[in-house]
């Protein structure tokens, strides 16, 4: 099995990882916060099972090193780790994996190294993650990325070298993450990036003494004894938090100019408050010369140090790829080792929830034998598919990585029949090529699904709440299991909604226009459009099934010509953690809606009125399959679209 692990670069919040640890001794020390990203360069390895732990690294000239072997013995692996040196890291990780997971041996062959070693890019952490991941995948241990990160850290700290807690963020790949450090606890959150961001980093080829830097700064903790220590704690604590929060927001918008300004601000703060703690290292003449260089100023939007700071590595952000290349060439010409890396646009929504545990009473008796989410529809490609498959394909196209399906106990088997059960060979042979491909796609989509059981059918809101742990602290897309969606737009409906969420950052749901005569069947949303196209709306209220009279008086939204329009929920939502928090409260307090079920509308309404809610008028159509006459219409409509 081939594995690639990138190097990692700390963009903002350096030193706040270890500083956050002091929160355990002094609760006034603020938890640390850092933005870390994997880079394009990294370490490639080939791993396979073995009866021993075998490792072959690469020499600096790019040739293979020697194979080294250890028996799978915690004692012997730990002894190698404690000795220090090149092999200590990997032996430490192997010792941890053996002790905690009781694994067999592993052979790890490092095949290519594209990351510069000892340049503040955590090449050692990347190797440790590679070994942890190697064990995880070859022994199918089902460890999460966070678990691999922990194993890499625990392995590395068995060695005399002291890595920080930032380093193993490379386990998250090339995606930027926010790390929070409070005492021993670490939280990792993926970050959204609105547009490609063009970074340059360069080794200043200067001198710095990292040990001295770390001991001088650590001397300012846990309790600040003098003015200088107070300043360091301020800079790495509250100042850093405010700065990082602003960077997250700027990254979400893809605002490179703002990030550049925040880089300058961060370095200014560092020079003002931290540098005095270790002036000999933080004078950093090379770094400051780069910052003052008119050509660098011309080509970049901001400059700051990297890692422990000092004259080690410098990072810069540019407005576009052209300037990025030009800056890199310029710095190389000045005798530095400069590299480019681009943080690719990342959406923050990567998980979706589909509730599919309802009784489907309105489609009885069909639902006595088939879940309505599995009803057949003829898709636009002319293939007859269970409705859920159509939904999953939409989610895959929108870039969703994981899907939670809320099912009622006993229904799982029905879904497994679609996703898990293989066809008999006779059946498979009868399939034309196109349908064989669909069969492969079904298996691939099935791998993204996590089943969550709703023990009792206590309503839509209750069903959604079952996904609380699955969602964690991330925003999640939620689609009704008994609808399918179409659009003629280049972007499918889920994608349009996710983009709207990235623009607003708040609870976002999709809108559909509805006639005044029909408002009593739907959740109706009112508010004000905030863009010229009348698509993005800041919602001000949401009312479930209002009367026509109430809607006419209170819920109309004027279009450009001053005519009142009415909007209902389209059936797709981006839910924030607050939604799960409030649903949890309602369930704990038994706050049911009028029909005796736990609903979602009251919670959305509460958030709309307190924190704010965005609604987006989707360019597309929704098709209901949960009501007989609607199902009939859906069939007819889909048929038309195929013609
Ligand atoms: P509906 O309101 O359509 O309810 O649910 P239902 O029970 O499926 O259908 P009827 O009203 O009995 O005909 C909207 C979505 O929420 C799910 C449904 O499966 C559907 O996808 N749901 C509803 C649950 O998962 N659990 C529930 O307790 C209720």
> Is 14's pLDDT higher than 70?
yes
Answer whether 576's CB lies under 8 Å from 545's CB.
no
**Cα–Cα separations (whole angstroms), residue 641 to 158, 257, 621, 626, 638:** 63, 45, 12, 20, 5
CA dihedral 495, 474, 146, 107 (to 10 degrees): -10
Query: Which stretches of 363-422 are DSSP H helices?
Result: 366-369, 387-397, 412-419
Burial code (b: 16+ CB inside 10 Å, e: under 16) for 135-173 equals: bbebbebebebebbbbbbbbbbbbbeeebbbbbbbbbbb
Q: Estimate the crossing angle of helix 88-101 against helix 145-156, to 10 degrees.
A: 120
Say if residue 322 is in the same domain as residue 366. no
Please tell me the distance from the alpha carbon of residue 527 to that of residue 244, in angstroms, as a whole number. 32
Ligand 1 atom at shortest distance from the alpha carbon of 462: 28
> Is 363's pLDDT higher than 90?
yes
Ligand 1 atom at shortest distance from the alpha carbon of 482: 21
Write down the residue that tokens 């590395």 correspond to: 156
Tokens coding 86: 């090149």
> Which of 546, 542, 551 lies closest to 601, judged by CA?
542
pLDDT on residue 380: 85
> Is 119's pLDDT higher than 60?
no
The pLDDT mean for the chain works out to 91
| Banded pLDDT at 341 (limits 50, 70, 90) | confident
Better pLDDT: 489 or 347: 489
Number of domains in the chain: 3
| Banded pLDDT at 121 (limits 50, 70, 90) | low
CATH no. for residue 42?
3.30.230.10
> Is 8's pLDDT higher than 90?
no
Q: Which of 205-209, 437-441, 522-526 has the lowest mean pLDDT?
A: 205-209
Say if residue 72 is in the same domain as residue 197. no
Better pLDDT: 527 or 428: 527
Q: Which of 245-249, 368-372, 416-420, 636-640 has the lowest mean pLDDT?
A: 636-640
pLDDT on residue 48: 95
Say if residue 562 is in the same domain as residue 431. yes
Say if residue 62 is in the same domain as residue 179. yes
| Banded pLDDT at 391 (limits 50, 70, 90) | very high
Q: Which residues contact 388 (CB under 8 A, 6 or more apart)?
A: 354, 356, 373, 374, 405, 415, 418, 481
Cβ(360) to ligand 1 under 6 A? yes
Answer whether 131's CB lies under 8 Å from 18's CB.
no
Cβ(409) to ligand 1 under 6 A? no
Query: Which of the listed residues 626, 627, 628 should we mutate to test ligand 1's pocket, taking the one with most ligand atoms within 8 A of CB?
Result: 626
> Is 629's pLDDT higher than 50?
yes
Say if residue 322 is in the same domain as residue 356. no
> Is 420's pLDDT higher than 90?
no
> Is 116's pLDDT higher than 70?
no
First to last CA, the chain: 46
Please tell me the distance from the alpha carbon of residue 395 to that of residue 389, in angstroms, as a whole number. 10
Say if residue 572 is in the same domain as residue 638. yes
Say if residue 630 is in the same domain as residue 571. yes
| Banded pLDDT at 586 (limits 50, 70, 90) | very high
Cβ(599) to ligand 1 under 6 A? no
pLDDT on residue 376: 95
> Which of 10, 1, 611 lies closest to 305, judged by CA?
10
| Adjacent-strand bridge partners of 476 | 351, 575
Answer whether 22's CB lies under 8 Å from 222's CB.
yes
What is the residue-wise DSSP string for 101-114?
A: H---EEEEEEEEE-
> Which of 96, 88, 76, 81 lies closest to 143, judged by CA?
96
> Is 348's pLDDT higher than 90?
no
| Banded pLDDT at 642 (limits 50, 70, 90) | very low
Residue 601: half-sphere exposure toward Cβ, Cα within 13 Å:
19
| Banded pLDDT at 2 (limits 50, 70, 90) | confident
Write down the residue that tokens 């360019």 correspond to: 619
Q: What share of the chain in percent tops pLDDT 70?
A: 98
> Which of 305, 107, 86 lies closest to 208, judged by CA?
305
Query: Which of the listed residues 460, 461, 523, 601 should we mutate to test ligand 1's pocket, taking the one with most ligand atoms within 8 A of CB?
Result: 460
Say if residue 158 is in the same domain as residue 41. yes
DSSP at 346: B
Write down the residue that tokens 């901001």 correspond to: 302
262-281 pLDDT, tens per residue?
999 999 999 999 999 999 99
Q: Which residues contact 51 (CB under 8 A, 6 or more apart)?
A: 72, 104, 105
Cβ(480) to ligand 1 under 6 A? yes
How, if at all, do strands 197-203 and 337-343 pair? antiparallel
Better pLDDT: 39 or 629: 629
pLDDT on residue 639: 55
529-563 pLDDT, tens per residue?
998 889 999 999 999 899 999 999 999 999 888 99
Cβ(355) to ligand 1 under 6 A? yes
> Is 344's pLDDT higher than 90?
no
Tokens coding 57: 């690294």
**Greatest CA span in the chain, whole angstroms?**
82
> Is 480's pLDDT higher than 90?
yes
369-386 pLDDT, tens per residue?
999 999 999 998 889 999
CATH no. for residue 374?
3.90.550.10
| Cis peptide upstream of residue 514 (ω within 30 degrees of 0) | no
Out of 189, 218, 249, pick the residue that ends a domain.
189
Out of 321, 346, 371, pick the residue that ends a domain.
346
Say if residue 39 is in the same domain as residue 144. yes
pLDDT on residue 170: 79
Say if residue 168 is in the same domain as residue 220. no
Answer whether 86's CB lies under 8 Å from 60's CB.
no
Q: What are phi and psi of 526, to 5 degrees?
A: -125, 160
Cβ(458) to ligand 1 under 6 A? yes
Ligand 1 centroid distance, CA of 460 (Å): 6
CATH no. for residue 247?
3.30.70.890
Better pLDDT: 470 or 187: 470
| Adjacent-strand bridge partners of 404 | 353, 450
Write down the residue that tokens 């994997």 correspond to: 38
Q: Which residues contact 481 (CB under 8 A, 6 or more apart)?
A: 354, 355, 356, 358, 372, 373, 387, 388, 391, 405, 406
Say if residue 199 is in the same domain as residue 284. yes
Say if residue 43 is in the same domain as residue 119. yes
Out of 346, 371, 389, pick the residue that ends a domain.
346
Q: Which of 32-36, 313-317, 417-421, 628-632 has the lowest mean pLDDT?
A: 417-421
pLDDT on residue 73: 96
- Domain span at residue 623 reads 351-642
Helices (H) then strands (E): counts for the chain: 25, 25
């Amino acid at each position: 099995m081939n594995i690639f692990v990138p190097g990692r670069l700390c963009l903002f919040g350096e030193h706040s990882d270890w500083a956050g640890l002091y929160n355990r001794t002094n609760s006034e020390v603020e938890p640390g916060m850092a933005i870390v990203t994997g880079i394009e360069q990294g370490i490639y390895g080939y791993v396979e099972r073995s009866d021993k732990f075998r490792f072959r690294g690469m020499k600096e000239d790019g040739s293979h090193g020697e194979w080294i072997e250890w028996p799978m013995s915690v004692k012997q692996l730990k002894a190698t780790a404690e000795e220090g040196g090149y092999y200590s890291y990997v032996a430490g990780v192997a010792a941890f994996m053996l002790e905690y997971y009781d694994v067999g041996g592993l052979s790890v062959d490092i095949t290519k190294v594209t990351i510069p070693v000892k340049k503040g890019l955590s090449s050692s952490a990347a190797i440790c993650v590679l070994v942890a991941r190697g064990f995880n995948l070859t022994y199918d241990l089902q460890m999460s990325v966070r678990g691999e990160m922990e194993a890499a850290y625990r392995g590395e700290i068995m060695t005399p070298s002291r890595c920080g807690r930032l380093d193993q963020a490379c386990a998250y790949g090339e995606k930027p993450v926010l790390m929070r450090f409070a005492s021993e606890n670490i939280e990792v959150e993926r970050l959204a990036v609105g547009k490609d961001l063009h970074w340059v980093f360069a080794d200043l080829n200067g001198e710095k003494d990292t040990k001295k830097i770390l001991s001088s700064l650590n001397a300012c903790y846990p309790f600040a004894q003098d003015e200088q220590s107070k300043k360091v704690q301020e800079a790495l604590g509250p100042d850093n938090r405010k700065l990082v929060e602003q960077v997250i927001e700027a990254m979400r918008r893809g605002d490179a100019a703002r990030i550049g300004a925040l880089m300058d601000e961060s370095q200014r703060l560092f020079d003002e408050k931290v540098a005095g703690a270790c002036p000999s290292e933080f004078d950093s003449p090379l770094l400051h010369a780069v910052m003052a260089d008119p050509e660098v100023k011309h080509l970049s939007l901001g400059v700051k140090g990297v890692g422990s700071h000092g004259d080690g590595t410098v990072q810069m952000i540019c407005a576009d790829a052209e300037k990025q290349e030009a800056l890199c060439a310029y710095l190389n010409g000045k005798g530095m080792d400069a590299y480019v890396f681009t943080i690719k646009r990342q959406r923050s929504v990567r998980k979706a929830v589909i509730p599919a545990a309802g009784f489907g009473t309105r489609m009885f008796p069909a639902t006595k034998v088939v879940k309505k989410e599995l009803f057949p529809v003829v898709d636009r490609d002319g293939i007859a598919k269970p409705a859920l498959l159509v939904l999953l394909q939409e989610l895959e196209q929108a870039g969703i990585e994981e899907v939670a399906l809320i099912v009622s106990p006993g229904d799982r088997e029905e879904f497994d029949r679609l996703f898990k059960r293989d066809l008999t060979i006779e059946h498979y042979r009868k399939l034309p090529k196109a349908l064989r491909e669909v069969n492969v796609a079904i298996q691939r989509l099935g791998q993204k699904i996590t089943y969550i059981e709703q023990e009792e059918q206590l309503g839509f809101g209750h069903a959604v709440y079952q996904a609380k742990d699955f969602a964690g602290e991330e925003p999640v897309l939620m689609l009704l299991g008994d609808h399918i969606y179409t659009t003629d737009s280049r972007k499918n409906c889920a994608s349009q909604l996710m983009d709207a969420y990235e623009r607003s950052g708040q609870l976002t749901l999709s809108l559909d226009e509805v006639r005044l005569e029909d408002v009593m069947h739907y959740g109706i949303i009112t508010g004000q459009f905030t863009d010229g196209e009348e698509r993005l709306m800041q919602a001000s209220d949401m009312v479930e099934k209002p009367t026509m009279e109430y809607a006419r008086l209170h819920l109309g939204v004027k279009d450009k010509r001053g005519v009142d329009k009415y909007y209902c929920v389209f059936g797709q939502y981006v839910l924030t953690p607050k939604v799960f928090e409030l649903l949890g409260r309602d369930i704990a307090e038994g706050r049911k809606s009028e029909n005796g079920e736990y609903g979602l509308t009251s919670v959305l309404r509460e958030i709309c009125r307190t924190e704010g809610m965005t609604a987006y008028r989707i360019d597309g159509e929704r098709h209901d399959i949960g009501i007989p006459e609607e199902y009939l219409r859906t069939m007819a409509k889909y048929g038309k679209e195929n013609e």
